[in-house]
Structure 1
Amino acid sequence: MRNTLAMILAGGQGSRLTIFSSSRAKPAVPFGGIYRIIDFALSNVMHAKINVVGVLTQYRPSSLMDHLKKGDPWDFVGRNREIKVLPPYTGTHSSDWYKGTADAIYQNLWYIKRYKPKNVLILGGDHIYYMDYWKMVAYHEEKGADLTIATMNVPYEEASRFGIMTVNEENRIIRFHEKPKEPESTLASMGIYVFNADILTRKLMADAKDPGSQHDFGSNIIPEMIQENRVFNYVFEGYWRDVGTVQSFLDANMDLLNPASGLDLGKWDVHTNLEERNVADRPPAKIMSNASVSNSMLSRGCVIDGVVEQSILSPGVIIEKGAVVKNAIIMHDCVIRENAVLENVVTDKDVIFGKGSQVGVSGENVPNRIYPKYLNTGISIFGKGARVPDNVSIGRNCVIFPLANETHYTGTTVESGDSVGAEDA
């Protein structure tokens, strides 16, 4: 699609993911063993044959930039194809951040103007889904729309978390309410927009001059355009998951193990950067004589000599003899020593569980005392490089912060809801 340029909003902190997004932007969080969350949007752009994409970064972009590099895994190579990272440098101060989603695009209008596209496709980089953007752009042009918004029907009890649309018989959007307390419909915005480029430019320039604006698409640009322009609804009916919480992140990973979920990495042909941590060069996973593996995904370099059930293992994970891992996401190069038992666990990279340690096996479902709103469903989480000493028992909804080591533990038991280590490590 030579007449369409894509802009991916990838600067979000994702604070509800707690320690997993404390040192990286949410789109850079690993997913499904070898992928990162942003791979889904990038792969969709690649399959739609959109030649130029800008990735707007903000919060701790280093990990994301390392992942993107020059865009080779998504075929953004060659004279007419480009992926460009666009940081929020608005002037002489590197601390200038985007004021809102609309301001993020406004600050990078220069990039859009360079390519003179007819349409601008604006996406979030933090959802798990497959969408044929080509069909959405074709629908946008068929309707003669100034703006087309991708939507999906959500359960009524969840509608207050989204921007909610009301449409007429023509499928034209006539009302938009951002996170309404009493929704009048269940048609929710997915944060995926196709704009007429000229109209987008005019709207953003006017919005930038408005001192009372929040410079946000949902709060400012979209409501105004519904009143003044042709804004249409494009209904999406496929798999889509917001992985903004630890529980939803675990659930989406578990969907990979359920053939009926609709999440199919092979069918979607999701691409990623396999050069990081030399993933492409690691040997195949090895299943040893004492191993038992059921309904799980193992990545390259894994060595399994224990029990793995209903779990996702990233490259280089070692499960020693007698160890048991159930309902877990174990990221790159973690080690679970002999006779350790892990249930309902999500780890970052390079975590080591000592011999005989136990996590999530017992204890009440007490919300975490630091993150009670985000960690209250029984999952315990472990930050990058954390250590669990031998024979330590850790309850439910616990946080072991990055780089926590033996000196941070005050005994052999971490009660449910407690945390270990320094929050700012």
Structure 2
Amino acid sequence: MNTDRVLAIILGGGAGTRLYPLTKLRAKPAVPLAGKYRLIDIPVSNCINSDIFKIYVLTQFNSASLNRHIGRTYSFSGVGFRDGFVEVLAAQQTQENPNWFQGTADAVRQYLWLFQEWDVDEYLILSGDHLYRMDYGDFIKHHKDTNADITISVLPIGEKTASSFGLMKMDDSNRIVDFSEKPKGDALKQMQVDTTKLGLTPEEAKEKPYIASMGIYVFKREVMVDLLRRSTEQTDFGKEIIPGCANEYNIQAYLFNDYWEDIGTVEAFYDANLALTQQPKPPFSFYDEKRPIYTRGRSLPPTKMLNCQITDSMVGEGCILKDCRIHHSVLGIRTRVESGCDIQDTLIMGADFYQPFVERNDDHHNSKVPIGIGANSTIRRAIVDKNACIGTNVKIINKDNVEESNREDEGFYIRSGIVTVLKNAVIPDGTVI
């Protein structure tokens, strides 16, 4: 499928309050993933693997690290991509519009003047916080083959999770005719559809009788321009603009029956990362030579493991691990774990730099606790953000089984029972969480 005339627009999301404190100092798409990647690498890599090289990323909050990552990672100059770019567009105030982005549609509307400068046929709208692998060429081919004005990528789901999504119903031609946002009870039952029409087997259709929007859309150029210009009070694609035009436009469903995870909460983020260690086959794999996930290339040394016991885990480059036990965990780049540590069911994001030897061993240094995991510490079911300084003999085990707690002044949060140590936090020697 020729995708030369497609412009991709990746929505960076709002303040990311459900992912806080991971979004305290960074935009949601810049949150680290799988030891060495960032969330934004997923949709950008899907675009590149689908031969889509005109990519904008719309963001509003804490975009400095996202700007830096994209600038250092995705440079298409001199490698044969005509008009290729990945560019961040931050929310801005103008004389015509003094407001920040009010929603997904409003974000695109505010930069519509720029998007219209490109001679393209379709706009591909993506989210910056989903984990999945998709060939957008197939998505766009379906859009063209059905002569759709708008095509929505949908996921077949079961009743247990259906009320958490925007659901849709179709007619016999797979045209979407009804929408319902997170329905419950009888309203949920009324949204059941025959998913065999989308290609599921009768067994699969019985197990998954609902179709949910993935928040991924293809618009005909002129359709999106028209809708955004005439519906200036409507700020969201999924809740307002698309449901409001169903009677007027041909809106088609494109079935994506594969792994997809909306990483919108701390618990979902934690589960998605730890699932990568699953054996024999994880639900999502970064080990696909034909459709790789790209990220920033770093000249880091190999990871050094000195008398360690490591099982069912992923370890990034440049780590130094000494005489420790690590099980069912993901360790990010430059992670340092000292001797006697026991780490299980944990995501450690690593560090942005190596701390000089003199600084690590200087008792008069400001923090007094070096970056990394100090000797004889135990960590269970936790997320340790970048550059955290965990002292010696620390226990991060949620000993009181707390579900929710804001202890930001002490360097950590607890969300859904998962202890999250903040970026740059210092946890003193002997602390028990």
Could you say what secondary structure the match of 2:20 adopts?
A: helix
1:24–1:59 Cα contact (<8 Å) kept = yes
Aligned pair partner of 1:31 in 30, 33, 36: 33
Aligned residue in 1 for 2:230: 206
2:13–2:127 Cα contact (<8 Å) kept = no
Aligned residue in 1 for 2:219: 195
Aligned residue in 2 for 1:405: none
Q: Distance in 1 between matches of 2:75 and 2:19?
A: 26
Aligned residue in 2 for 1:176: 179
Aligned residue in 1 for 2:204: none
Q: Distance in 2 between matches of 1:131 and 1:44?
A: 6
Query: After the TM superposition, which residues 124-203 of structure 1 pair with which residues of structure 2 at under 5 Å, given as runs?
Result: 124-181=127-184, 182-183=187-188, 184-185=191-192, 186-203=210-227
Amino acid at match of 1:166: K
| 1:74 Cα deviation from its structure 2 partner | 7.2
1:73–1:271 Cα contact (<8 Å) kept = no
Does residue 382 in structure 1 map to residue 421 in structure 2? yes
Aligned pair partner of 1:22 in 24, 28, 38: 24
Could you say what secondary structure the match of 1:300 adopts?
A: coil
Q: Distance in 1 between matches of 2:4 and 2:112?
A: 18
Query: After the TM superposition, which residues 143-292 of structure 1 pair with which residues of structure 2 at under 5 Å, given as runs?
Result: 143-181=146-184, 182-183=187-188, 184-185=191-192, 186-208=210-232, 213-258=233-278, 259-267=280-288, 268-274=291-297, 280-289=298-307, 291-292=308-309
Q: Distance in 2 between matches of 1:93 and 1:370?
A: 40
* Aligned alpha-carbon RMSD (Å): 2.0
Aligned residue in 2 for 1:121: 124
Does residue 347 in structure 1 map to residue 365 in structure 2? no
| 1:12 Cα deviation from its structure 2 partner | 2.4
Per mean C-alpha deviation after superposition, the further-off stretch among 322-331 and 4-13 is 4-13
2:70–2:87 Cα contact (<8 Å) kept = no
Aligned pair partner of 2:319 in 291, 298, 302: 302
Structure ranking higher on relative contact order (CA contacts 8 Å, 6+ apart): 2
1:223-253 Cα shifts (integer Å, max 9, x gaps): 1221111000001011111111111111100
2:9–2:55 Cα contact (<8 Å) kept = yes
Aligned pair partner of 1:60 in 26, 44, 62: 62
Question: How many residues matched?
Answer: 381
2:404–2:417 Cα contact (<8 Å) kept = no
| 1:36 Cα deviation from its structure 2 partner | 0.4
Amino acid at match of 2:221: A
Amino acid at match of 1:324: D
Q: Distance in 2 between matches of 1:248 and 1:296?
A: 18
Give unpaired runs (5+ residues) of structure 2. Answer: 193-209, 352-370, 408-412
1:386-423 Cα shifts (integer Å, max 9, x gaps): 111111211xxxxxxxxxxxxxxxxxxxxxxxxxxxxx
Q: Distance in 1 between matches of 2:319 and 2:85?
A: 35
Q: Distance in 1 between matches of 2:78 and 2:270?
A: 31
2:402–2:414 Cα contact (<8 Å) kept = no
1:90–1:107 Cα contact (<8 Å) kept = no
Aligned residue in 2 for 1:44: 46
Q: Distance in 1 between matches of 2:85 and 2:416?
A: 42
1:296–1:308 Cα contact (<8 Å) kept = yes
Per mean C-alpha deviation after superposition, the further-off stretch among 280-289 and 254-263 is 254-263
1:348-397 Cα shifts (integer Å, max 9, x gaps): 1111211111111x6232222339xx945431110011111111211xxx
Q: Distance in 1 between matches of 2:239 and 2:418?
A: 34
| 1:116 Cα deviation from its structure 2 partner | 2.1
Aligned residue in 2 for 1:327: 345
Does residue 111 in structure 1 map to residue 114 in structure 2? yes
Q: Distance in 2 between matches of 1:71 and 1:336?
A: 29
| 1:79 Cα deviation from its structure 2 partner | 4.4
1:312-355 Cα shifts (integer Å, max 9, x gaps): 01111111111111110111235111111111110111112111
1:340–1:357 Cα contact (<8 Å) kept = yes
1:238–1:262 Cα contact (<8 Å) kept = no
Amino acid at match of 1:296: S
1:68-103 Cα shifts (integer Å, max 9, x gaps): 116536789654212222222240499731122111
After TM superposition, the score normalised by the length of structure 2 is 0.84
After TM superposition, the score normalised by the length of structure 1 is 0.85
Change (3 A) 1:370 1:296: same
Identity rate, percent: 35
Aligned residue in 2 for 1:363: 399
